[in-house]
Amino acid sequence: MIVFGSTGSIGVNALKLAALKKLRVSALACGGNIKLLNEQIERFKPEFVCIKEQKDRHLVKHKNVFVGQEGLEKILELSDDTLLLNAIVGFAGLKSTLKAHKLHKKIALANKESLVVAGEFLKGANIIPVDSEHSALSALIQARQNIKKLYICASGGAFFKFKIKNLKSVKLSDALKHPNWSMGAKITIDSATMANKLFEIIEAYHLFATKEIDAFIEPKSLLHALCEFQNGATSAYFSKPDMKLAIAEAIFDTHELEILPPLDFVKLSSLKFHKISLKKYPLFALKNIFLEKPSLGVIINAANEVMVERFLKQKCEFLDISKGVLRALEHFEGVTITELEEVFEYDRKVREYL
Q: Which residue numbers belong to the known binding site for 1-deoxy-D-xylulose 5-phosphate?
A: 112, 132-133, 155, 178, 191, 196-197, 200
Whole-angstrom Cα Rg for the chain:
20
Identity of the residue, 131 or 305, whose beta carbon is nearer to Mg ion in the bound complex: 131
The pattern of x and - marking residues 2 through 21 that bind ligand NAD according to CB under 6 A reads ---xxxxxxx----------
Identity of the residue, 31 or 46, whose beta carbon is nearer to ligand NAD in the bound complex: 31
Identity of the residue, 101 or 112, whose beta carbon is nearer to ligand NAD in the bound complex: 112
Least Cα distance to 189 among 349, 322, 86, 93 occurs for 322
DSSP-derived letter for residue 274 is B
Q: Which stretch binds ligand NAD (CB under 6 A): 26-34, 216-224, 247-255, 274-282?
A: 26-34
Identity of the residue, 54 or 169, whose beta carbon is nearer to ligand NAD in the bound complex: 54
Supply the minimum distance, in Å, between the C-beta of residue 247 and Mg ion.
12
Supply the minimum distance, in Å, between the C-beta of residue 107 and ligand NAD.
13
DSSP-derived letter for residue 316 is S
Q: Does 351 bind ligand NAD (CB under 6 A)?
A: no
d(CA 225, CA 236): 6
DSSP-derived letter for residue 262 is P
Backbone angles phi, psi at 121, to 5 degrees: -95, 10
Other residues' Cβ atoms within 10 Å of the Cβ of residue 90: 21
Chosen from Mg ion, ligand NAD, none, partner binding at 26 (C-beta under 5 to 8 Å by type): none
3-class secondary structure, 217? strand
Residues 105-134 that bind ligand NAD (CB under 6 A): 110-113, 131
Least Cα distance to 335 among 319, 351, 346 occurs for 346
d(CA 148, CA 210): 10
111 in Cβ contact with 97 (< 8 Å): yes
d(CA 244, CA 247): 5
Q: Does 131 bind Mg ion (CB under 5 A)?
A: yes
Residues 155-174 that bind ligand NAD (CB under 6 A): none
Supply the minimum distance, in Å, between the C-beta of residue 57 and Mg ion.
34
Identity of the residue, 131 or 249, whose beta carbon is nearer to Mg ion in the bound complex: 131
Q: Does 183 bind ligand NAD (CB under 6 A)?
A: yes
Torsional sign, CA 166, 168, 169, 172: positive
Instruction: Enumerate binding residues for ligand NAD (CB under 6 A).
Output: 5-11, 29-32, 52, 87-89, 92, 110-113, 131, 181, 183-184, 186-187, 243
Q: Give contact residues for Mg ion (rule: CB under 5 A).
A: 131-133
